[in-house]
A and B are shown apart, each in its own frame.
Chain A
Amino acid sequence: MEPLIEPTDIPYLPRGVRLQGDRVRGIRVLQAPERAMQLDPIGDAILSELDGARSMSQIAADLAARYNAPQDQIAGDIRDFLTGLIERRMVFLKEAT
């Protein structure tokens, strides 16, 4: 799968995409136009970091530090996960200014 995001890109949830809890099922979901996607704890952790200010590489560094995990591996996981969501137009990118 060819990645659709560069380390310096700033990923964000666009209008119409919401990260929220599902009180009936007790899970976390990503709501988007005519889609609701169940998130595992890793997906939830990644998406909770999207603040529209930090780049993907900064997010990877922060998560690696927090979970005491190798940054390269975390960066790869984030890139693949976000590429899947960019393909579905559930995550947008802006370039660093």
Chain B
Amino acid sequence: MKDLPGQPPVQPRDLDGNPVTPGLPMAMLAEITHRCPLACPYCSNPVELTRAAQELPAEDWARVFREAADLGVLQVHISGGEPGARRDLAQIVASARDAGLYVNLITSGIGITRDRLLELDRAGVDHVQLSLQGIRPDMADRISGHPGSWDKKMGFADWVTEIGFPLTINAVVHRQNMERLPDMIDLAEHLGARRIEVATVQFHGWADLNRAALMPTQEQAAFARRIVNESRLRLRGRMVIDYVPADHHAIYPKACMGGWGSTGLNVAPDGSVLPCHAAQSIDWMRFDNVRDRCLSDIWNLSDAFNAFRGTEWMPEPCRSCERKTVDFGGCRCQAMALAGDARATDPVCSKSPLHAQVVARAEEDAAADTAEFIYRRMKKGG
């Protein structure tokens, strides 16, 4: 971190004033736009979406990528929304490669033509991750809220392998498509993917609005785990399967972001820098913007990043838990959503006093007799 000449070094502190020591970030999620042709009801973007006019210009992204590389970031995940919704995507990609970053492009595959994909190849995309909402047009198009999405995605996947990019399929699973997980894994293999990420919906933002239509049952969560384990054995050396389980059905919470402010950061379309993509759901937290402050200062000195660093901020039962450096008390945004307190033990943890309530509510949502979605849309006007 930078100190002014003649000034004592600034000591970063958590939200209780305990001294903390920032490490070096490895990965940056660059959400370059919230615009997207799809309307998935579990979108990880916030419910309040940023409009095109507020988006950070490509020149600013180039500076942010240089600052990120200087700070220790090795990989950037260029995402959205749909990153292809920006006409200057290739310029943004090229500037990330110029900064020395490894560039992952995370896309729906909709709206990127073969010519544009060739342009992105020249710009230096290292790896393409393609989202999958379901199997076959009827399911995929209904879940994504975009007629024709399935056919476009399959065409896009063919171009990806024709050009030679490494391909990851990102399959988001929930109650309405989990039975088709074996077919999704087969499809990824058929498309020549090196990896498939099987990610159970995380219930923040849009997904939280759709809990009753998306929450998997206990049986489905067990089924998914068994399919993943069997497929990993069968596909050893041919395709990697990464799996994000249904944490409402787990004993311990997920180690969100590998620990708050420890290895990753997220830059939102308007330039706000977040410790995780859902952090804006913590309503009292204020976030710095790359338009006002350099990334190094934001990472090392901002209140938002320091708030939950280390373990001193933790209340019980986390404070005396042997797993406190394994899962870091779980997800702060989930604690905010379910306990109304961002510093509480993640209520999906079996040690949380709210755990029984959370499980009961998940069971109730899983048994709900609805398939109707509230689709992700930008508000009209404004």
Binding site for B on A (CB under 8 A): 4, 14-18, 22, 24-25, 29, 31-34, 36, 86-89
Q: B60 in the interface, Cβ–Cβ < 8 Å?
A: no
What is the count of residue pairs linking A and B with beta-carbon distances less than 8 angstroms? 59
Complex CA–CA separation, A33 to B70 (angstroms)? 21
Residues of B within 8 A of A32 (CB): 127
Partner pick for A24 among B70, B236, B238, CB 8 A cutoff? B70
Q: B280 in the interface, Cβ–Cβ < 8 Å?
A: no
Q: B77 in the interface, Cβ–Cβ < 8 Å?
A: yes
For the complex of A and B, the 8 pairs showing the least CB-CB separation, nearest first, are A16-B166, A33-B127, A24-B72, A89-B194, A36-B74, A31-B102, A4-B237, A16-B127
Q: List B residues 213-249 near A (Cβ within 8 Å).
A: 236-240
A15 and B194 within 8 A (CB): no
Complex CA–CA separation, A31 to B75 (angstroms)? 8
Q: For the side of the interface on B, what is the size category?
A: 20 to 34
Complex CA–CA separation, A88 to B238 (angstroms)? 9
CB contact under 8 A between A4 and B236, given known A15-B165, A34-B127: yes
19 contacts between A and B (CB under 8 A): A14-B166, A15-B164, A16-B126, A16-B194, A24-B69, A24-B72, A31-B102, A33-B126, A33-B194, A34-B77, A34-B129, A34-B168, A36-B26, A36-B27, A36-B102, A86-B237, A87-B236, A87-B237, A89-B194
Complex CA–CA separation, A15 to B194 (angstroms)? 11
Residues of A within 8 A of B168 (CB): 33-34
Residues of B within 8 A of A16 (CB): 126-127, 165-166, 194
Q: Shortest beta-carbon distance, A88 to chain B, in Å?
A: 6
